[in-house]
Amino acid sequence: MIQGKTAVITGCLQGIGRSTLDIFAKSGATIFACSLKKTDEYTFHLSELYQRYNSEIIPVYFDMMDNEAVKSAAREIQRHKKNIDILVNIAGMNHDAMFPMVTMTDMQDTFQVDFFAQIIFSQYIVKLMQRGGNGGSIINTSSISGLDGRAGQLSYASAKSALVAATKTMAIELGPHKIRVNAIAPGMIDTDMYQNVPSEIVSAKVQATQLKRMGKPEEVANTILFLASDLSSHITGQVIRIDGGMGA
């Protein structure tokens, strides 16, 4: 579906980002795999993907809390002089707290990683898409919290909601350049994010879905793959829920 295309993916260290990295490598893309840090396990995993699929994977490490590091990483990608076809913004963070207990620091940190850094990074990568002249596809990762709101997630929901608005605006502005911009809104996905959530809360949320189960990271990654490919060539400015029917 994306054979021969070049993709930039953030948040590749774990969860949805790791699954997206795996599926894109299997699909034959060249990948700039962005993550916060380098670990032995992650380095071994990248090597395994190359050996299994012969897909070129270029690791890029940076902290999205640091705008200068974000810009430096984007310039590093530019130095490879590859035309970028796909950008997948997945990296994120969350500070849960009920509204009266939300601190300004928590809000600023969450917006920095989940919104500001992603916009800055996208501005640089879009230039590489435009340089190629063939358009491209950007997929932003929002959340059902950004669409519906969630108790205890004021900072996270607000940042993810801002990303939805940015997605729709970017789609309008970049459409004339043949660049599509969409967002996904995952619900209960079986990632590390839920490891410290009490089991009774997880169970209650699962029962609130139509499918009565948590989603798998690879199910989200498959939707991202669809939006990145030409199979979705007439889809832009949309937000796709991946929540097992939680909002139904």
Q: Is residue 176 scored above 90 in pLDDT?
A: yes
The model's pLDDT over 8-57, given as tens digits with 9 standing for 90+, comes to: 999 999 999 999 999 999 999 999 999 999 999 999 999 999 999 999 99
192 confidence band (pLDDT: 50, 70, 90)? confident
Q: How many residues does the chain have?
A: 248
Superfamily for the 6-242 domain: NAD(P)-binding Rossmann-like Domain (3.40.50.720)
pLDDT of residue 248: 52
Total-model pTM: 0.95
Among candidates 137, 151, 121, 165, which has minimal Cα distance to 224?
Answer: 137
Q: Is residue 211 scored above 80 in pLDDT?
A: yes
247 confidence band (pLDDT: 50, 70, 90)? low
Q: Which two tokens stand for residue 107?
A: 């809000």
pLDDT of residue 151: 85
Residues with catalytic function: 156
Q: Is residue 174 scored above 90 in pLDDT?
A: yes
Q: Which residues of 74-107 are buried (b: 16+ CB within 10 A; e: fewer)?
A: beebeeeebebbbbbbbbbbbbbeeeeebeeebb
Q: Is residue 237 scored above 80 in pLDDT?
A: yes
Q: Which two tokens stand for residue 142?
A: 């929002």
